[in-house]
Structure 1
């Protein structure tokens, strides 16, 4: 991923506080690379989506390249940790009488 496409002149992507989206993108793509998901550029994906969706995603991420945007979106899906589901599934499993020292 090209940093010049991900970061604006202010140090962060357009529409975000400096660094926040860029740091998230960098972390996701670094993890994807660490898991070997970005080694080869041997796949191709095509499709039609709303231009408004693409524009909003680019504003939110600061990414300008369609390729980088798709790679980031796919990495997010591939690396999803399912925290929300695990948190929801844990509801009611802790004894309400447990002393949490709070």
Structure 2
């Protein structure tokens, strides 16, 4: 029996499928992807809770507002984490300050 992938697993698989051939996530990105999957799965569960609350004849506006806020925060969290991923090694940003320090070490300057 094959189990269905969670929403988080599907998102991570989609991001990984978009990598160029021969490119892999580094260790930091693998941990970030695990967090992305966890938050996405949590948001899926919260979405189901939101839908269940909306289906009730007597809705709790407080509960709806709280759950909607948590969903928004989770969505923003996933967006921020996805922005930290650098799937193309040629586009990794190097700070000028860190490059200068590295060059100074290589040249033996102190």
> Structure 2 length as normaliser, TM-score?
0.28
When you count helix as a share of all residues, which structure comes out higher?
Answer: 2
> Structure 1 length as normaliser, TM-score?
0.29
